[in-house]
Every structure is written in structure tokens, then in C-alpha cells.
Amino acid sequence: MYAAAVQDLIDELGRLPGIGPKSAQRIAFHLLRLPSHDALRLAEAIRVVKERVSWCRRCFNIAEGPPAGEAGAAGDAGRPPAIECDICRDERRDPTVVCVVEEPRDVVAVEKTREFHGRYHVLQGAISPIDGIGPDNLRIRELLARLEVEGVKEVILCTNPNIEGDATALYLASLLKPLPLKVTRIASGLPVGGDLEYADELTLGRALEGRRELVD
């Protein structure tokens, strides 16, 4: 067994997504070998990001807030985020079209296409009973609350073209159906079973252009 501090580090690293026990061990020993100031840069970057960055109160994308200590600094559980992201603050963006995505990284993917000029709503996940994630665990209530207030006319469901993303889109479509809105789903052409994150810009751009209305 390792010293308790080393074991703690391995355990923490092992909790990160995509990192198994072996990789956790490898990273831990890499950090141990690094000069102090190099290793602490990582700790500092984590600290700063937790202090300054939180969720946009409107769309739940990543938003950079005022530095710690100032009023409205958001962050930890329980306290409502009080800041808005760059996109929500940008008045040139069309507020009547909202693109619904799963994760902040999908906002980046869609932005790269330069095909979309509306706003976003980040669900922060997709429906997946296997992982214990139902509609209640996503930012769906917050989406519904925005629609009328912001005068949204079209919702584009841009969840991943895989099974959970599709199921989430179908669920949202049935939820939004009674509302006076146009609901579209990005066209395929995206590889089924894929991730938006990995789609090239051209394919994703075309998929956005070719979006269609979802019946049921």
C-alpha cells in the first residue's frame, strides 16, 4: 500500500471520467515526479476554474463570472448562478431560436459551424435510465421556463445522434408539442451512434441546415 496521501490522490484521479485505476496510478506518479511548481499549476487551475466559472443562469452553458469575493460570484451547490454566458449576453444573437444541446462542449461544436445565430440551452446530460438519469435530472424545467419569457419561436433539438440523445429529443418533442413553437431535430448525415463533438464542421453544418420538424 502507498502512503495515505498518495492513495488519496490515486482515488481522486480514479473518480475522473475515463480514468481507470491503472491510469490513475500512472498520473499520480507522474505528478509526484514533477517539480512542485509544475504540479501546483494544475491545482491552481482547478481552484481558479471552480471560483470563476459556473453555469449560465439562462442557458446553463459555461459562464465566466466575477472573481471570487465580489457580489454574485456563483458556484457551489445550492446557490443559484447569477451570471450569464457570452452568448446570452450577445445582443446580436437571435433570441427567438434556441438550440438544445447536451453538454457545453456541444455548444462549441455548433458554434464552429458558424451556421447558427440563435441562443442555446444546455441540458447537462441526456435521458439514460441505466445511469439513473431521467428528465428530472436535466435542465428541462429551466428550458420550459425560458420559452415564453424570451419569446422563443423555434427550438432545435441538437442532442447527440445516438440512442440516448434521440430518446431525449423525442421526449422533449412530445413535451413541446402543445406549445406554439416550431420544433426541429438536426438532420442525420451525422453518423448514427456518434457524438456531436467528433462530427466535422461541414457535416454538422449541413445537418443543421437540413433540420426537420419532429412529428411526435
Question: 69 contacts which partner out of other proteins, Zn ion, none, CB within 5 to 8 A by kind?
Answer: none
168 grid coordinates: 431525449
Residue with cell 451525422: 190
Instruction: List the one residue from 40, 41, 177, 193 that touches other proteins (CB under 8 A).
Output: 193
Residue 192 sits in the site that holds other proteins (CB under 8 A): yes
Which listed residue (43, 135, 141, 210) binds other proteins by CB under 8 A?
135
12: number of Cβ within 10 Å: 11
Tell me the one-letter amino acid at 162.
Answer: N
Q: How many whole angstroms separate alpha carbon 133 and alpha carbon 139?
A: 12
From 3-11, 54-62, 130-138, 148-156, give the range in contact with Zn ion by CB under 5 A.
54-62
Residues 150-169 binding other proteins (CB under 8 A) are 163-164, 166-167
Any bridge partners for residue 161, and if so which? none
Contact call for residue 174 and other proteins (CB under 8 A): yes
- Distances in Å between the Cα of 150 and the Cα atoms of 144, 178, 193 are 10, 18, 33
Q: Which does 83 bind (CB under 5 to 8 A by kind): Zn ion, other proteins, none?
A: none
170 lines the binding site for other proteins (CB under 8 A): yes
